[in-house]
Homo-oligomer: A and B are copies of this chain.
């Protein structure tokens, strides 16, 4: 039997979060934190709603996951996020010693990988490009609508 809980499944859940952001006129980025094949936190970008430029999906998801686990460290967790994290979020993922980062679309303007110094924790495994087209299409649609 095929394991239904694979990267595509969890990224699909992150995309549902991104869609929620889209619907409330936030830049559509979504994230889920997975620990032992279970989603322990879900979040979407809420910078406008919270009037807080730091309220990125990743920051909210990481704080919620740490709260759920009662641990400062997410070293047995995978973060699925629809867009490549920014420098701030990569710095946060460093502090929580994230086990694995899976992201969808690359962020060619603000992505952490544009910085030459490695920002993530040395132990964090990275997989990029999972459902990237869906993630990018959602963001492109958002900005197209915004500029219309």
State whether the Cβ of A47 lies closer than 8 Å to any Cβ in chain B. Answer: yes
Give, as a whole number of angstroms, the nearest-CB distance from A56 to chain B. 8
User: What are the residues of chain B within 8 A of A47 when measuring CB–CB?
Assistant: 72
Residues of A in contact, count (CB < 8 Å) = 30
User: What are the residues of chain B within 8 A of A59 when measuring CB–CB?
Assistant: 54
Q: Give Cα distance in the complex from A59 to B53, angstroms.
A: 11
Give, as a whole number of angstroms, the nearest-CB distance from A123 to chain B. 15
Query: Contact between A54 and B87 (Cβ–Cβ < 8 Å)?
Result: no
Q: Among the interface residues A89, A91, A115, which one has the most CB atoms of the partner chain B within 10 A?
A: A91
Query: Contact between A87 and B94 (Cβ–Cβ < 8 Å)?
Result: yes
Query: Contact between A63 and B72 (Cβ–Cβ < 8 Å)?
Result: no
User: What are the residues of chain B within 8 A of A52 when measuring CB–CB?
Assistant: 63, 66-67, 72
State whether the Cβ of A71 lies closer than 8 Å to any Cβ in chain B. Answer: yes
State whether the Cβ of A34 lies closer than 8 Å to any Cβ in chain B. Answer: no
